A and B are shown apart, each in its own frame.
Chain A
Amino acid sequence: MAALPPLTRQLGCLRPFMRSHEFIQQTCRRTITTKYTPKPAPVDLPKNLPPIFYSQLPDRLRPDFKPKPFKIYPPPPSNAKKCKDPLTATTEAQLAVLDPTGERKALFDYRRSRRSVKPGDIIRVTFKNGDPFAGVVLNIRLRGVDTACLLRNQFTRVGVEMWVKVFSPNVEGVEIVQRTEKRKRRARLYYMRNPKHDVGSVENIVKNYMRQKASIGGVKGTANKKARS
């Protein structure tokens, strides 16, 4: 019984026969059909080829072949180079139209000019259309042509605040009615909205000022009187 397993295995296994059969078939087929020819080595063009044969060659093989030149366009003219700082230029151009004398600019440039309007001052702004508006300056916003100041006043015990664009063509004149006694230590006096710090109505101060101005008779007063442009 010990010799039985190898016997059965040999009997049942036909693969070796098949394998040899395949091999024979393959070799036979190969000998009949396939013939290996190596790729012919590239032949250089003959030196001193007469130009008459150039037309028979593809373009890239001709000795006088050059890649076709393509047109290079110059870049469009740069506006950035023409004007280095367009924002400043635009601001200046607009200010030259809106404020030719530069007086209004000096009147509100509170960081540079000494006689300018400062936060805490009471000013009166007259408009070309509409009523004049007087109030305490709470805030001066220096932004080139967009320079504006925030005025606060009270009408019938109701607080009114108004942002006035300083260079607006609608603004006819700006007068300093009263300067602050002490320099304010803040640039933005929003604390004046609290009832504790509110100056209230400036109507009486402005009325006094107008009366004084009328008595002087339109003559320009002292330093704190008038700055009209």
Chain B
Amino acid sequence: MIQLKTLLNCIDNSGAAVVECVNVLKKKRAGTVGDRIVVVVQRQRNFDTGIGVSAANKVRRGDIRHAVIVRVKKEMRRPDGSYLKFDDNACVLINKSGDPIGTRMSG
């Protein structure tokens, strides 16, 4: 159940670590896996490389981006009646045309 103010983990290497949902697109209800959302980057990921934070990160704190939800805590119902749930909420940042911003996903 992803809605306004939900904090999600960002699991790609775009540079965002924690993002906050500000809108669920094309839906009046809470978002679930596969839905596109609009997020605000709340915390940046710190890479261990010697490069400065801004050089490695493609997004910065406070950026407004689109994202796709990939994991939710709320259980999802499959058509055969089985349910699947995860222990966290996670998303992947994308640009407006739908391509991922990061190049690698973990998890």
Contacts and interface: CB of A to CB of B under 8 A. Distances in A.
Question: Are both chains from one complex?
Answer: yes
Interface of A: 146, 148, 155-165, 168, 170, 193
B99 interface: no
Interface in B70-104: 71, 75, 80-88, 90
A156 B107 contact: yes
Chain B contact surface mostly: loop
Contact of A160 (B80, B82, B87, B106): B87
A225 to B, nearest CB: 25
B89 to A, nearest CB: 10
Contact of B84 (A146, A161, A165): A161
B interface, how many residues as a size bin?
A: 10 to 19
B86 A168 contact: no
A147 to B, nearest CB: 11
Given A165-B80, A165-B81, A168-B80, A159 B86 contact: yes
A162 B83 contact: yes
Given A162-B82, A168-B81, A170-B80, 4 more contacts: A155-B107, A158-B86, A161-B75, A161-B85
A168 B83 CA distance: 13
Given A163-B75, A168-B80, A170-B80, A158 B85 contact: no
Of the listed residues B75, B81, B82, B88, the one surrounded by the most CB atoms of chain A closer than 10 A to its CB is B82
